[in-house]
């Protein structure tokens, strides 16, 4: 009965005018006499597509026996119609459809005077203005990064407190209760899983604020304007305007951004954009900047983080220009049509949905890939080398992991950070950028003496404390909102109390760079920005761009990361900035 669905009582038809209709009917007659065709396509539609010289249909017909006559006949019809009507049939047919629609709309739609500007038009006059457009775009981006860097900070502290306090305590007591206290399992959970996954979950608030901001920009319709505004700039640089959308998405996560290159029609544009997208600094790289900026640039962390994002954009633009002139030279650009949806006030539900989807994906990653890497790393860090110590009871500096990292470390010497902890974190960062910090917390923290256990609070006290500190964080967050415009309600900004990890990193970087710690930190951040985003991104590239371009991407990024970090560190020293 399925075919019945195609048979409307009164079939929908547009009258394409006497001459065209004659040709359509001629073709329909032939189609009706060819059973193979009649069963595959609605006859009138097929006739229309043939007159439109539809490439896809032509290709399919060539594979169907008995269609040669039809195809030849159709060609003849197209030619003769062009002579009679004086223009290409496909254009005339499209035109006829628009006329039909136009008259339909006149019948059924009552519109107010067209000269009245809608609110969207009014906003667009300012926001997409030739001169104001780009500054407004940068201001919005600045607000987004302030939100993520400053406003989320109190929650960050809260999550950290909950994980390192109550959760760590509950895990220990639980393991003790099932009889595994004082075994290597405790170390696996505390130094492996909680240190690894916990170190990543701490950044959930940062990402949530980023995703909320992006969702508001997307749902309000501003994101499309941002692409439109940047389109002029992109074209000036020889890139495709539509490439900007995947790039914008790339600030959230590289993986969907690579998939978003699908919106580009031209294959070369897709590949070029796919190669550049990873330089857009994704959300997972942000925690690394946040950590390093707060250690080495406590007063200017916002600016340093922002400049990382800018650097990524600049690198992408320059590479785009170079590729366009070399690898993709002379390849045509497809025309760019972009729709600006009307502005809408974002709904809470919509923003929440987007935010939750993305944050959820991040948390899921923390639980799967990062959990697995953390456990593997813990084992690598627990297996001793050179006969010193025993399993799970070895100085981390004597572990298998340290030996591997030490072997690589000299490659980073000219970049200012050849400690095995730092290079080891880059190795694991290949899997996911979220792991960079967790590796560091495992590598550095494992070398510290255990903190003294204070009087253990009860379960209920813990719960109460969690709720209370959450409320305090919320209050702090509200107070910190004016920070976006530079007003500080939090009073004298307390120097955030450096954690043990922060101290360890600072010491290690100062040492490996001969006292040029902040240059080494900058060089490290640049490396993290430029090299392979994560395993999942590689999988996405493989899927969308193919193996060849994926390899180009991986090795190109490694080389470029090393080169730029080298320039930052050595250049900085040459300029006497150290």
Partner 1 sequence: MKKLTIALAGNPNAGKSSVFNVLTGSRQHVGNWPGKTVEKKEGHFQKDGYEITVIDLPGTYSLTAFSPEEVIARDFIIDEKPDVVVIILDSANLERNLYLAVQVLELGARGIAVLNMIDIADSRSIKINKEQLSKLVGIPVVTTVASKGEGISDLMDCIMNIANEVTK
Which stretches of the chain bind partner 1, using CB under 8 A? 1-8, 10-14, 40-42, 44-45, 48, 52, 54-57, 97-98, 100-102, 104-105, 107-112, 118, 259, 262, 265, 339, 341-342, 344, 347, 350, 543-544
Q: Which is nearer to partner 1, 11 or 330 (CB)?
A: 11
Q: Measured from the CB of residue 9, what is the shortest distance to partner 1 in angstroms?
A: 8
Q: List the structure tokens of 395.
A: 């100085």
Q: Measured from the CB of residue 262, what is the shortest distance to partner 1 in angstroms?
A: 6
Using DSSP's 3-state secondary structure scheme, residue 330 falls into coil
String of DSSP letters for 405-469: HHHHGGGGGGGT---HHHHHHHHHHTTBTHHHHHHHHHHHHTTSPPPPP-PPPPHHHHHHHHHHH
Q: List the structure tokens of 225.
A: 């304007």
**Cα(255)–Cα(358) distance, rounded to whole angstroms?**
11
Q: Measured from the CB of residue 402, what is the shortest distance to partner 1 in angstroms?
A: 42
Nearest to 477 by CA among 37, 159, 89, 239: 159
**Cα(217)–Cα(51) distance, rounded to whole angstroms?**
44
Q: Measured from the CB of residue 112, what is the shortest distance to partner 1 in angstroms?
A: 4
**Cα(364)–Cα(204) distance, rounded to whole angstroms?**
11
Q: Which is nearer to partner 1, 100 or 459 (CB)?
A: 100
Q: Measured from the CB of residue 6, what is the shortest distance to partner 1 in angstroms?
A: 5
Cα 247 to the center of its chain, rounded Å: 8
Q: Identify the bridge partners of residue 152 per DSSP, sorted by sequence position.
A: none
Q: Which is nearer to partner 1, 25 or 388 (CB)?
A: 25
**Cα(412)–Cα(570) distance, rounded to whole angstroms?**
12
**Cα(133)–Cα(470) distance, rounded to whole angstroms?**
39
String of DSSP letters for 38-84: HHHS-HHHHHHHHHTT-HHHHHHHTTSTT-HHHHHHHHHHHHHHHHH
Q: Which is nearer to partner 1, 36 or 118 (CB)?
A: 118
Q: Which is nearer to partner 1, 10 or 329 (CB)?
A: 10
Q: Which is nearer to partner 1, 265 or 503 (CB)?
A: 265
Q: Measured from the CB of residue 27, what is the shortest distance to partner 1 in angstroms?
A: 14
Q: Which is nearer to partner 1, 146 or 270 (CB)?
A: 270
Q: Measured from the CB of residue 272, what is the shortest distance to partner 1 in angstroms?
A: 16
Q: Measured from the CB of residue 111, what is the shortest distance to partner 1 in angstroms?
A: 5
């996954």: which residue's tokens?
Answer: 197
**Cα(272)–Cα(328) distance, rounded to whole angstroms?**
8
Q: Which is nearer to partner 1, 192 or 274 (CB)?
A: 274
Q: Measured from the CB of residue 255, what is the shortest distance to partner 1 in angstroms?
A: 13
Q: Measured from the CB of residue 328, what is the shortest distance to partner 1 in angstroms?
A: 20
**Cα(328)–Cα(348) distance, rounded to whole angstroms?**
44
Q: Which is nearer to partner 1, 47 or 529 (CB)?
A: 47
Q: Measured from the CB of residue 548, what is the shortest distance to partner 1 in angstroms?
A: 17
**Cα(349)–Cα(48) distance, rounded to whole angstroms?**
44
Q: Identify the bridge partners of residue 393 per DSSP, sorted by sequence position.
A: 390
- Is-contact 200 434, C-beta < 8 A? yes
The values of phi and psi at residue 279, to 5°, are: -80, -10
Q: Which is nearer to partner 1, 122 or 325 (CB)?
A: 122
The values of phi and psi at residue 399, to 5°, are: -90, 170
Q: Identify the bridge partners of residue 384 per DSSP, sorted by sequence position.
A: 399
DSSP letter at 399 equals B
Q: Measured from the CB of residue 144, what is the shortest distance to partner 1 in angstroms?
A: 23
Q: List the structure tokens of 506.
A: 């600072």
Q: Which is nearer to partner 1, 17 or 515 (CB)?
A: 17
Q: Which is nearer to partner 1, 332 or 339 (CB)?
A: 339
CA dihedral 545, 551, 556, 558 (to 10 degrees): 120
């Amino acid at each position: 009965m399925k075919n019945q669905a195609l048979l409307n009582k009164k079939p929908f038809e547009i009258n394409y005018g006497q001459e065209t209709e004659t040709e359509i009917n001629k073709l329909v007659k032939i189609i009706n006499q060819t059973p193979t065709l009649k069963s595959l396509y609605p006859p009138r539609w097929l006739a229309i597509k043939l007159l439109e010289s539809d490439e896809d249909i032509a290709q399919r017909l060539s594979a169907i026996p008995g269609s040669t006559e039809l195809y030849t006949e159709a060609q003849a019809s197209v030619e003769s119609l062009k002579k009679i009507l004086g223009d290409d049939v496909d254009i005339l047919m499209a035109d006829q459809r628009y006329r039909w629609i136009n008259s339909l709309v006149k019948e059924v739609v009552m519109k107010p005077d067209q000269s009245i500007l809608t609110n969207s038009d009014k906003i667009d006059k300012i926001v997409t203005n030739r001169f104001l457009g780009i500054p407004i775009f940068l201001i919005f981006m600045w607000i987004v990064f302030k939100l993520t860097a400053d406003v989320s900070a109190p929650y960050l502290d809260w999550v950290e407190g909950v994980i390192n306090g109550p959760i760590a305590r509950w895990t220990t007591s639980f393991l003790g209760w099932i009889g595994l206290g004082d075994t290597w399992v405790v170390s696996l959970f505390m130094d492996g899983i909680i240190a690894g996954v916990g170190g990543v979950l701490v950044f959930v608030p940062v990402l949530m604020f980023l995703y909320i901001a992006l969702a508001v920009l997307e749902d309000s319709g501003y994101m499309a304007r941002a692409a439109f505004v940047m389109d002029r700039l992109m074209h000036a640089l020889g890139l495709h305007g539509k490439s900007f959308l995947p790039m914008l998405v790339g600030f959230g996560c590289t993986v969907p951004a690579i998939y978003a290159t699908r919106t580009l029609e031209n294959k070369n544009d897709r590949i070029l954009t796919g190669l550049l997208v990873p330089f857009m600094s994704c959300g997972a790289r942000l925690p690394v900047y946040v950590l390093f900026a707060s250690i080495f640039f406590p007063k200017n962390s916002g600016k340093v983080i922002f400049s990382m994002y800018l650097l990524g954009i600049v690198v992408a633009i320059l590479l785009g220009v170079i590729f366009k002139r070399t690898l993709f030279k002379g390849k045509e650009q497809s025309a760019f049509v972009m729709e600006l949806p009307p502005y809408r006030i974002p709904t809470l539900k919509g923003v929440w949905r987007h935010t939750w989807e993305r944050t959820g994906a991040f948390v899921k990653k923390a639980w799967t890939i990062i959990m697995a890497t953390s456990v593997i790393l813990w084992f690598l860090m627990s297996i001793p080398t050179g006969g010193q110590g025993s399993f799970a009871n070895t100085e981390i500096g004597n572990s298998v992991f340290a030996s591997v990292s030490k072997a690589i470390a000299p490659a980073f010497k000219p970049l200012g950070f050849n400690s095995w902890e730092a290079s080891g974190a880059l190795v694991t960062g290949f899997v996911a950028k979220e792991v960079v910090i967790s590796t560091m917390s495992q590598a550095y923290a494992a070398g510290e003496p255990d903190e003294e256990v204070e009087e253990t609070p009860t379960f209920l006290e813990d719960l109460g404390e969690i709720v209370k500190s959450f409320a305090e964080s919320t209050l702090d967050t509200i107070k910190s909102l004016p920070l976006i415009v530079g007003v500080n309600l939090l009073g004298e900004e307390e120097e955030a109390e450096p954690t043990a990890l922060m101290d360890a990193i600072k010491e290690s970087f100062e040492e490996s760079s001969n006292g040029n710690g902040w240059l080494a930190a900058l060089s490290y951040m640049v490396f993290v920005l430029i090299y392979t985003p994560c395993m999942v991104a590689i999988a996405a590239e493989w899927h969308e761009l193919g193996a060849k371009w994926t390899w180009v991407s991986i090795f190109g990024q490694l080389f470029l990361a090393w080169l730029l970090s080298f320039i930052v560190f050595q250049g900085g020293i040459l300029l006497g900035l150290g």
